[in-house]
Chains A and B, each alone.
Chain A
Amino acid sequence: MTTHTKPPVTPAKTPPRRRAPRRRRISGLHLYTLVLIAWLLLPIAIMILFGFNDTRSKQNFEWQGFTLRWYAHLFDKSDLTAAVVNSLTIALLSTLITTVIGTFAGLALGRYRFRGKGSTNLVLFMAISCPEIVMGASLLSMFVTFNLPRGYLTILLAHVMFSIAFVAVTVRARVVGLDPAVEEAAQDLGAGPWTRFRLVTLPMIMPGVLAGALLAFVLSIDDFVITNFTSGATVTFPLWIYGSTRTGTPPQVNVMGTLIFAVGVLIAVVSARRSARARR
């Protein structure tokens, strides 16, 4: 639109100057957004900070000086370490199972018309909007009725259950946006169903599958309510923290939280960078 000859340099410079008065008018909302973000991050900052707190008592809410002691003694509480390991392995297993099952469900819902599609959609909607406590309570009712011992396996069964709908919906959204002509072309070129799926369909829906997998992992590792009802004597990271709120949460919990936070943010930033580069 502009008459400048070097677009990469000049447009970046000129518009802000021209739009300056308009910018000032909207800065209220901008400021508000920043304050909101600060509010959301405040408890996270406190969590990180209190992982460095040189506390002597069981309570960890008064700042008593800086220390790296808790990072050095991260694995001192063996039951906490075991809980974190439980959380991680359950999250990985449930993500693996859910992604496979949910992807096929999402494909079926996004691509085909079939009898029972409407009721399947309704069940998915129910599974997404059902209160967690009702899911947990009903699973507990079932395990009690059938005298099933609760533990690692029942947690895993439950986590796969509540993640399936999210993965299916995520994949379905991706499938609906695809052009069916591409697959038909593959078929015309002689590709069998499996080859077609592996070489054409799967790569196209991969972003949806990955997003679903990430969602399933996050839902699983963070879940407290349903896990609480299905866990029996098995303890996961959230359950351990909850149990510690009565007696005092040790700083190791803050350190674990900080490390998980850091790793999560790192993965998210790296994958965002990568997909941005891939788009270019």
Chain B
Amino acid sequence: MGGVRGRLAPYLMILPGGLWLAAFFLVPLVLMVSLSLQTGNLIDGFQQTLHWQNYTDGLSTYGDKFVRSLWYGLLATVACIALAYPAAYWIAFRGGRAKSTYLFLLLLPYFVSFILRTVSWKLVLTDNGPILGPLRDHGVLPEDFHVLDTGVAVVSGLAYNFLPFMVLPIYVALERIDPRVVEAAYDLYASRAQAFLRVILPLSLPGVFAGVIMTFVPVSSDYVNAEVLGGPQNTMIGNVIQTEYFNNSAYPTASALSFALMAILLVGIFAYARTLGTQDVLEAAGR
């Protein structure tokens, strides 16, 4: 390459994006950590204390919300795997010429705004809505049946909203499997179950892993589904952070909660990566 200019080229190319991410991603994160160690309020100003009090206070006050967020996140992620895997499997191995059509249909919800999707899902679950209303009027459902404002509604909304994020990586992993490897398993007298459990499933795990990263993090930090579908009894940690920022202007507490949320999720992901034996987290998710 052309001397100095050639050696400088990658730096010049990475510079604008790198600076943008540094200024609006890394610096804010550092500032948030700093803010989380301060005390004070909006009117009297904030003071740096370097004490962990905001963390201990926040976690002891909202510990149950944290637990609920992780629990809902886990349930929704497992639901996504269970729902997505069979469909991804069928499309990858039996989709034939219609493969891309099926994938397109699975992605159709993404042409509608996330909020609007959630509002429409609420309409599905509303007691007197177009789905449950007639079902109850005709006696299919008991009179006191309702889903809205329950944890079930929140988890179903989360699974609904993030399902395609699980389908796609699993599909990509399954699609990459060389059919000859599967045929080899049959040639070696593997039953269908054995071929699936010992060949296809292990080869598709990186896809499941990428899917888990792409769903678990957004799902357990989401607050829109809890707000729209769950009512006041089923709020998650995201709702708390939002309220602390916007209604209470308790910036230090909110910062501490946000950073704690990120830390918990990251520790979870890396622990998960280790137990699964996926060596390079970057590879699995950055794909």
Q: Are B113 and A40 closer than 8 Å at their CB atoms?
A: no
Q: Are B110 and A218 closer than 8 Å at their CB atoms?
A: yes
B217 CB contacts on chain A under 8 angstroms: 129-131
A20 CB contacts on chain B under 8 angstroms: none
**B224 located at the interface, meaning its Cβ lies under 8 Å from any Cβ of chain A in the complex:** yes
Known contacts being A61-B130, A108-B10, A161-B24, is A44 close to B120, with CB within 8 Å? yes
Known contacts being A46-B120, A102-B17, A245-B228, is A133 close to B258, with CB within 8 Å? yes
A245, B226: Cα distance in complex, Å:
13
Q: Are A114 and B120 closer than 8 Å at their CB atoms?
A: no
**B163 located at the interface, meaning its Cβ lies under 8 Å from any Cβ of chain A in the complex:** yes
Q: Are A43 and B17 closer than 8 Å at their CB atoms?
A: no
Q: Are B124 and A42 closer than 8 Å at their CB atoms?
A: yes
**A237 located at the interface, meaning its Cβ lies under 8 Å from any Cβ of chain B in the complex:** yes
Q: Are B32 and A138 closer than 8 Å at their CB atoms?
A: yes
Interface with B: A1-9, A65-73, A139-147, A202-210, which one? Answer: A139-147
B277 CB contacts on chain A under 8 angstroms: none
Q: Are A164 and B28 closer than 8 Å at their CB atoms?
A: no
Q: Are B242 and A129 closer than 8 Å at their CB atoms?
A: no
Closest residue on chain B to residue A137 by CB atoms: B258
Interface size of B by CB at 8 A reads 87
Q: Are B111 and A138 closer than 8 Å at their CB atoms?
A: no
A20, B64: Cα distance in complex, Å:
55
Interface footprint category on A: 35 or more
A178, B220: Cα distance in complex, Å:
38
Q: Are B282 and A125 closer than 8 Å at their CB atoms?
A: yes
Most A C-beta atoms less than 10 A away, residue of B2, B20, B124: B20
A216, B28: Cα distance in complex, Å:
21
**A235 located at the interface, meaning its Cβ lies under 8 Å from any Cβ of chain B in the complex:** no
Q: Are A224 and B114 closer than 8 Å at their CB atoms?
A: yes
Nearest chain B CB to A233 CB, angstrom units: 13
A161 CB contacts on chain B under 8 angstroms: 20-21, 24-25
Known contacts being A128-B285, A157-B24, A257-B116, is A142 close to B124, with CB within 8 Å? no
A139 CB contacts on chain B under 8 angstroms: 24, 28
**B265 located at the interface, meaning its Cβ lies under 8 Å from any Cβ of chain A in the complex:** yes
15 A-B contact pairs sorted by A residue (CB < 8 Å) = A29-B90, A36-B106, A39-B160, A43-B120, A43-B124, A61-B129, A116-B14, A121-B282, A130-B25, A131-B262, A137-B32, A137-B258, A161-B20, A224-B224, A241-B116
Closest residue on chain A to residue B259 by CB atoms: A134
Q: Are B13 and A141 closer than 8 Å at their CB atoms?
A: no
**B29 located at the interface, meaning its Cβ lies under 8 Å from any Cβ of chain A in the complex:** yes
A100 CB contacts on chain B under 8 angstroms: 16
* Residue in B102, B112, B223, B251 whose beta carbon sits within 8 Å of that of A33 in the complex: B102
A241, B220: Cα distance in complex, Å:
22
List the interface of chain A (C-beta within 8 A of B).
26, 29-30, 32-33, 36-37, 39-44, 46-47, 49-50, 61-63, 100-102, 104-105, 107-109, 111-112, 114, 116-117, 120-135, 137-142, 144-145, 157-158, 160-161, 164-165, 168-169, 173, 193, 218, 221-222, 224-225, 228-229, 237-238, 241-242, 245, 249, 253-254, 257, 260-261, 264-265, 268, 272
A142, B26: Cα distance in complex, Å:
11
* Residue in B25, B120, B282 whose beta carbon sits within 8 Å of that of A47 in the complex: B120
Residue interface bits B166-190, CB-to-A below 8 A is 1, else 0: 0000000000000000000000000
A79, B160: Cα distance in complex, Å:
30
Known contacts being A29-B89, A132-B218, A134-B259, is A222 close to B113, with CB within 8 Å? yes
**A-B pairs with the 4 shortest C-beta distances?**
A43-B120, A131-B221, A112-B10, A105-B17
Q: Are B32 and A32 closer than 8 Å at their CB atoms?
A: no
* Residues 240 to 279 of chain B near chain A (Cβ within 8 Å): 241-242, 245, 251, 254-255, 258-259, 261-262, 265-266, 269
A98, B19: Cα distance in complex, Å:
13
Q: Are A41 and B218 closer than 8 Å at their CB atoms?
A: no
New A-B contacts (8) at CB < 8 Å, excluding given A123-B25, A145-B31, A169-B287: A40-B105, A44-B117, A47-B123, A125-B285, A131-B220, A137-B255, A193-B9, A225-B224
Q: Are B17 and A104 closer than 8 Å at their CB atoms?
A: yes
